[in-house]
Amino acid sequence: MSDSPSGPISVLHVDDEPDFAEMVATFLEREDDRLTVDTARDIDEGLSRLDETDVDCIVSDYELPGRNGIEFLKTVRERKPDLPFILFTGKGSEEVASDAISAGVSDYLQKETGTDQYTLLANRIVNSVTRTRAEQARQRHLQAIETSQGGISILDENGEFIYVNEAYAELYGYDRQEILGERWELLYPDENVEAVREEILPYVASEGYWRGETTGLRADGSTFLEDHTLAITEKNELVCTVLDVSRQKKHERAIKELHSTAQAFMQAETEDEVAQIAVNAVRDILEMPANGLHLYDESEKVLIPIAWTDRTEELVGKPPAFEPGEGLAWKAFETGEPYINSDISTDPDRFNPETPIQSQFLLPLDDHGVHLIGSPDPNAFDETDVSLASILATHATTALDRVEDEQELARKNERLETFTSIVSHDLKSPLSVAIGSLEMAQEECECPYLDDAEQALDRTATLLEDLHAFAQAGTATIEFEKIDLGQLCESCWHHVETGDATLHTPTQHVIRGDRSRLQELLENLVRNAVEHGGKDVTITVGDLETGFYVEDDGSGIPATEHDRIFERGYSTTEDNTGFGLAIVQELVEIHGWNLHLSESECSGARFEITDIDIIEARD
């Protein structure tokens, strides 16, 4: 484990599919050489690894043997509250996402097909660990600052100050000499003096020590909550140690409210929503009324104002856009470094020399943009403000990352839907014309080349149908319902050319799934068994603890082909398009299930589909 933000990162990946876990480890370590991935098959093994080794980040599936990923997350949070935890699962739903957010998940990512998901997962891991390390460093720094702010004073037996340190005097708004010689009542509101005199001081005289919270009175008449410790020395002097906990209480309250904001960020669907949530949180939770958020427009190469407060507009008017090199905002965005200045009138890079803003705090949001916070007062931001705003900026950046990922996925799906439309409509019409023309040509004349053309056109038509089905599977919308698996198998049997094949359905499961998609899945498995196992093959559909299997007694699939069998377009026969099993895998994955290929007891092919919601078993 490394404290450096850019140091090595130890990842624990918990997934009950060892082949998949091994593949994930290989791709992650290939994507970023800082990553070292260890794997575990279940939660108990994962917790043991967590106790035995230093781990920087946990990546976990949702469906695990015995307990699910949310239960695992809760256990980890009890042991290590700040450890980054990413839920990487094929089971995607609003309910799972909501439970994960409530349990304190660092990030939530659904398994997809293809290798791009591993690049995304590697980035999420690195970002989560880097931010956690940075936050831990900030917390250590903040703690050191808070500790150094302790005020110390000594009173004689008459209750008069004979010593105060600088921090003590500053807490109450006095010079040290103004307090020396005065009695302790100077620093307490009249309504609290009697309680100190009648309750606290007698307790100290009896026990020699007291600690609790009291209300301090500053020179300007304001009050604050103080963590107060009193102890009597051998000379009967009273040593007082005071910490101002008003800001700490505010900090704790703000942290709690920021957690609620984090949930809002996770639910935001657009960049504009993220920006508005961030601006409102800085205004309402951090009590910084003048702030606004600019996002970077890649096409225009400018920082565009997206959301800002009324107070911002009162001070500077409508926020301007910043072009490259303009103002402190662009400087912070370009360097990626936060900027804080208690008097920007002294900074030659300021955008507006006449601005009424004196204090400014700028937070870059990676490559997304920058959050501007200002105040007409000098020295408006302290270390606590900086820490809280940085936490909020981290949440906003994470939300913008997620929105960007989802928008890119939506663009890919839109392109796929366009492709599907071309396959469905634009290509079928000219193909139909070609087939019809060929039939008429065959009626008019005899030519051996026409038979070859007919076979080619038939294969093209089959290929288009399978390609269309594969594209539809990749963009399918799943609507779960209660399904009797045995009855659905019997229905599927009548929609496939099965010849002399036999269906055996000992399954008793009633499951939750999309009926039409599951029917398409089963039909493809049956068709595959008949095509490769022979016309008299026997196909069996039986129950597993968390799913079902489809197996046959045919010739099986060679072990050397297992890694390629689900590739789209791959086939061992010339007249097969090779899309059937690729469609099966797509339909399994969009349900959030898992698919495993093995050998049946009769040396045929056996497909196991697991991680299914089993509602009941028929008698």
Q: How confident is the model at residue 476 (pLDDT cuts 50, 70, 90)?
A: low
First to last CA, the chain: 53
Angle of helix 515-533 versus helix 580-591 axis, rounded to 10: 150
Q: Comparing 149-244 with 246-426, is the CATH topology the same?
A: yes
pLDDT of residue 112: 81
Distances (CA, A) of 210 to 172, 184, 479: 21, 16, 64
Judged by average pLDDT, the poorest of 104-118, 146-160, 514-528 is 146-160
User: Is residue 321 pLDDT above 80, yes or no?
Assistant: yes
pLDDT for 178: 94
pLDDT exceeds 90 at position 566? no
Fold of 246-426: Beta-Lactamase (3.30.450)
How confident is residue 442, by pLDDT bands cut at 50, 70 and 90? confident
Tell me, what's the pLDDT at 450?
72
Hey, where are the domains in the chain? 1-148, 149-244, 246-426, 427-474, 481-617
For domain 149-244, give the CATH number. Answer: 3.30.450.20
Q: What is the mean pLDDT of residues 407-419?
A: 66
- Sheet strand arrangement including 85-89: 35-40, 9-14, 57-60, 85-89, 107-110
Helix or strand run (H / E) with residue 364: strand 359-364
**Which residues touch 16 (CB under 8 Å, ≥6 apart)?**
41, 42, 61, 63, 64, 65
Q: What distance in Å separates the CA atoms of residue 332 and residue 280, rounded to the nearest whole number?
A: 21
What pLDDT digit, counting tens, does each position of 151-163 carry? 888 899 999 999 8
Q: Is the pLDDT of residue 557 over 70?
A: yes
How far is 103 from 85, CA to CA, in rounded Å? 10
Q: Identify the pLDDT of residue 366.
A: 93
Residue-level pLDDT at 142: 43
The helix/strand count (H/E) of the chain reads as: 19, 23
**pLDDT score of 149 more than 60:** no
Mean pLDDT of 124-151: 71
Task: Using CB atoms within 10 Å of the CB of residue 584, give its burial: 0 to 12 exposed, 13 to 18 middle, 19+ buried.
Answer: buried
At residue 538 the predicted structure's pLDDT band, cuts being 50, 70 and 90, is very high
pLDDT at 510 over 90: yes
Give mean pLDDT, residues 108-120.
Answer: 84
CA-wise closest residue to 513 among 469, 548, 540? 548
CATH number 3.30.565.10 is the correct assignment for the domain at 481-617 = yes
Helices of type H across 377-427:
383-421
397 burial (CB, 10 Å; 0-12 / 13-18 / 19+) is buried
Q: Of 169 and 443, which is predicted with more confidence?
A: 169
pLDDT confidence bin for 591, thresholds 50/70/90:
confident
This prediction has a pTM of 0.42
Mean pLDDT of the chain: 84
**Which tops the pLDDT comparison, 191 or 583?**
191
Amino acid 498: pLDDT = 84
Bigger pLDDT: 237 or 417?
237
Give whole-number Cα distances, 226 to 213, 240, 376, in Å.
Answer: 6, 11, 29
Instruction: Tell me the CATH number of domain 1-148, given options 1.10.760.10, 3.90.470.10, 3.50.50.60, 3.40.50.2300.
Output: 3.40.50.2300
